[in-house]
Amino acid sequence: MIEISGSSGFEEVDHTADWAIRVWADRLDELFKAAAGGMYSLLDVQVDPQVRSSADFCLTGIDPETFLVGFLSELLYRLESNRAAFDRIDLQFKAAFLEAHVEGAQVISQNKEIKAVTYHNLKIRQVNGTYETTIVFDV
């Protein structure tokens, strides 16, 4: 659903009570896009490609982990309140702000639910030039 570069991706990983995904990318903005794609994949979201929408939002934060949880939480909120999922994402990091422009489509089906994005063991690391993290979702 989300367009991510060939060096970015996600995979579901086992977690005892909740859901988790491992995410990786060459750039921080690509990591966020891959994380959004992973979250939508876990939710099994299907969209109507004919009904497009866009939105802009700005988040404050103190570190990449705060921005990531805030970003995914905002996407989850918009999914629940507006029934919209976003497949085109443009992110700009500016000191203590994250500016996002997102474009997407109306959700026609969603087979699973996530209650919240968590900070549980969340740490974004850079390993050999690649950003990676594991995100746990409360279900």
pTM of the model: 0.90
The domain at 9-138 falls in which architecture? 3-Layer(bab) Sandwich (3.55)
Q: In what side-by-side order are the strands of the sheet with 45-60? A: 45-60, 97-110, 84-94
Task: Look at residue 16 in the predicted model and tell me its pLDDT.
Answer: 66
Question: What is the percentage of the chain residues whose pLDDT exceeds 90?
Answer: 84
Distance CA 136, CA 98 (A): 21
Task: Look at residue 13 in the predicted model and tell me its pLDDT.
Answer: 75
pLDDT in tens, 101-121: 999 999 999 999 999 999 999
| Range scoring the smallest mean pLDDT among 7-21, 45-59, 114-128 | 7-21
Task: Look at residue 15 in the predicted model and tell me its pLDDT.
Answer: 61
